[in-house]
């Protein structure tokens, strides 16, 4: 059975991310102790590996491109996931269109996050069928 571990990867410092996530009551859904943050590396794609290593160390399960998912709404998010070693779910609800996210290499693109069941379906696709 694959391990599911929601965390965060951000250009913010850990404490800034914690404050922002707490504002929206999201901390209870994440383990930010294994995330990747600005102080860890200035090259954003490298934060993926930081989070994967922390997660592997904390949970004893190997995290790799096969089972790591980045969800983002910008071309920078797509690049971070692709270069960093993660599957990328693009969300076309920001200033970047779904077509642009797809062209940039997102593995999956959703128009927005209003359909939570669809998002979970994409995240949980079996290896070899997208993730």
Residue-by-residue DSSP string for 35-67: -B-GGG-SSTTHHHHHHHHHHHHHHSS---GGG
The reported pLDDT for the residue numbered 94 is 83
pTM, 2 dp: 0.87
In order of their start, the domains of the chain are 1-63 (no CATH), 64-131 (3.40.50.1000)
CA–CA distance, 80 with 49 (Å, rounded to integer): 11
H helices of 1-131, in order, are: 14-23, 46-59, 75-84, 98-103, 116-123
The reported pLDDT for the residue numbered 66 is 87
User: pLDDT tens, 82-130?
Assistant: 999 999 999 998 899 999 999 999 999 999 999 999 998 998 875 444 4
Look up residue 125 and give its DSSP letter.
P
User: pLDDT tens, 12-63?
Assistant: 999 999 999 999 999 999 999 999 999 999 999 999 999 999 999 999 999 9
The reported pLDDT for the residue numbered 126 is 54
The reported pLDDT for the residue numbered 128 is 41
The reported pLDDT for the residue numbered 107 is 95
The reported pLDDT for the residue numbered 3 is 57
């Amino acid at each position: 059975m694959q391990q599911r571990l929601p965390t965060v990867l951000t250009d913010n410092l850990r404490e800034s991310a914690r404050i922002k996530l707490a504002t929206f009551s999201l901390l209870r859904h994440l383990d930010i102790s294994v995330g990747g943050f600005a102080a860890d590396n200035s090259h954003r794609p490298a934060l993926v590996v930081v989070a994967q290593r922390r997660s592997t160390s904390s949970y004893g399960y190997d995290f790799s491109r096969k089972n790591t998912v980045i969800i983002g709404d910008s071309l920078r998010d797509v690049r971070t996931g692709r270069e960093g070693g993660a599957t990328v779910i693009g969300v076309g609800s920001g200033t970047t269109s779904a077509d642009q996210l797809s062209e940039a290499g997102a593995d999956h693109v959703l128009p927005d996050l209003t359909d939570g069941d669809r998002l979970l379906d994409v995240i949980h696709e079996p290896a070899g069928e997208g993730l």
